[in-house]
Amino acid sequence: MKRRRMPAQVGIPLGVRDLPEYVWNGDLIEFDGPVLSLYRLPEQRKDALFLLVDRDYVAERWCICEVSREQLDGYLKQQITLLSILKKAPYTLFFDQGDHGRRSAARVSWDEFPEQYRPSSKSLLTDEISTDTAKKLAADELVEFQLELSGDDLFFEDLSQISRSYQQLYSFHYGLRNLDRIAVRERVVALMGRWTSGLSAVNLFSGLRNVIPSLHRPRVTHLHYASPGHIRLELLPEMSGEISRVVNHAAHPDIELQLEALYKECYEYFKTQRLAGFEDADNRISERLTPVQARQISQFVAQYFSLLMLADYKGPFSELEATPLQQLRAVLAYHRRLRHLVYYVQIGQVTLPD
Amino acid sequence: MVLLQLAWETRVSNKYKYQNVIQVFDPGCKNCPPVDSAERRLTAYRWTKNPVTAECIRPPGILKPGRIERAHGKSKKCKLVGLSLHRTQDESAAAYKALSQTVSMMAEVFGDHIAEVHLLPTHGRSSAPNSSGHFDFYEYAGVDLLASFQVVQKV
């Protein structure tokens, strides 16, 4: 019996290398594998949906459609259909995925979008088909949170530093809070394992951003550049609350002293144990730890989580597929960024309501 | 602790049909099938063609091994070595109807019938179903369920 093959691809042909590099964030529908997945395009800070439209014995055909924050939120909450998202997109991208890689990529306008692949006018993300990941994303409600700015000597670079530090802390806390999401956990472990240069710490925080879908990213709703002024954000309430608690706690002189003492102790330990420095293929420091070193370093990580009042994350963080040294490096990088915001809180230029 | 060890040994000593595939990403089959899976006696439902072919009841990662390689994380890889099933015919039909609004080529991608199968503890392990009644089934070695699947509904 002749086996069915998918019809020829329509639209403007593209090389598969011309397809943007999206980062997987999670599956919204799955049956015998992913059917609809959420991806992120890091450079352009966009979300995209990957939809399985067809399959034969050789390959699967996927359609990529970029989606705005509002559309994603509406779709997750069963308020708008997938059809409406596809119709409004300036174009979609198609490709065939076989065991030997991708082929037959094309850029397709709505007019060219094959009829047989179009979702119906009832293409909602209903409970019968949505994954737990999708349900959780739909359940998240955002709130407004205001960073208060004050002080006479607030310079332009201070605004930049405050925003960047807050963003980086947010990324780290988001990672901690969402370690049960595969995309986040994989990303955290992959980034912690790449400690090959001073840029690695930067990559950790910017890389974590790539697994935060647009509807979870802090969005500026109001800016008041004055003294006093504010930056008002729309974001996840548990995140804003947690960051405020940690920063305000760390700003307390006693706690700050203890944190700095711990930081110093960690680096002294690195020095005496010859664990300092960057890793490369010939120098995998983190994989050469003795049991005693691993125990001590794990203890440092535990002490940090206790001092920062993040004890709930100690367990899940320690269970990550990363060595104790990789975990500690990540926490030390977090401490360095925490210091920036703590400084501004201590001199009264930033207030983070609890 | 002893009970856990016994349970784990039971899971591994009953060799899985696709154990060699599972071992690549989960040596010793410690987490695949999932730890909450169990041998159960139940009737389950799967989307298939009519008549049911061997391909209809082969896990997606076995039909196309590249999918396991591309999957994110062990739990996703594990799902691709299991068979997607529903607890009840109604749940299977409701999910098919809902998904067909999004995937217009349902018949080509998943089949256009629902088939019923009576699973025994000796057939394999079933994961815990989700709120929509969907679960994954992991066959033991030597099990051939092709003759056990009976088409019950056209969707």
A91 contact B CB<8A: no
Give me the residues of B, 46-105, that contact A with CB < 8 A.
47, 59-61, 64-67, 70-73, 75-76, 79-80, 84, 91, 94-95, 97-105
Tens place of pLDDT for every residue, chain A, 354 residues?
678 999 999 999 999 999 999 999 999 999 999 999 999 998 777 899 999 999 999 999 999 999 999 999 999 999 999 999 999 999 999 999 998 899 999 999 999 999 999 999 999 999 999 998 999 999 988 899 999 998 777 888 888 899 999 999 999 999 999 988 888 888 888 888 766 555 566 677 888 888 888 889 999 999 887 778 899 999 999 889 999 999 999 999 999 999 999 999 999 999 999 888 766 666 677 778 899 999 999 999 999 999 999 999 999 898 888 889 989 999 999 999 999 999 999 999 999 998
Chain A residues lying within 8 Å of B70, measured CB to CB = 97
Residue A210: predicted pLDDT: 83
CB A150 within 8 A of CB A228: yes
CB A231 within 8 A of CB A223: yes
Residue B13: predicted pLDDT: 59
CB A80 within 8 A of CB A27: no
A146 Cα to chain B: minimum distance (Å): 36
Residue B73: predicted pLDDT: 86
Contact flag B95-A56 (C-beta cutoff 8 Å): no
The strand order across the sheet containing B42-48 reads B124-126, B134-139, B83-86, B42-48, B113-119, B150-154
Residue B139: is its pLDDT beyond 70?
yes
CB A19 within 8 A of CB A41: no
Contact flag A32-B110 (C-beta cutoff 8 Å): yes
Average pLDDT of chain B is 92
Contacts of B7 (CB under 8 A, 6+ apart): none
A117 contact B CB<8A: yes
Contact flag A54-B73 (C-beta cutoff 8 Å): no
Residue A285: predicted pLDDT: 77
Which residue from A170, A124, A122, A130 is spatially nearest to A26, judged by alpha carbons?
Answer: A130
Q: Which of B47, B72, B108 is nearest residue A54 as measured by Cβ atoms?
A: B108
Q: What is the mean pLDDT of residues B64-79?
A: 92
B112 Cα to chain A: minimum distance (Å): 14
Give the ipTM of the model, two decimals please: 0.90
Residue B10: predicted pLDDT: 57
Residue burial B97-111, b: 16+ Cβ < 10 Å; e: rest: ebbbbbbbbbebbbb
B74 Cα to chain A: minimum distance (Å): 9
B44 contact A CB<8A: no
A95 contact B CB<8A: no
A220: three-class secondary structure by DSSP:
strand
Contact flag B98-A129 (C-beta cutoff 8 Å): yes
Task: Kindly report the pTM of this predicted structure.
Answer: 0.88
Residue B3: predicted pLDDT: 58
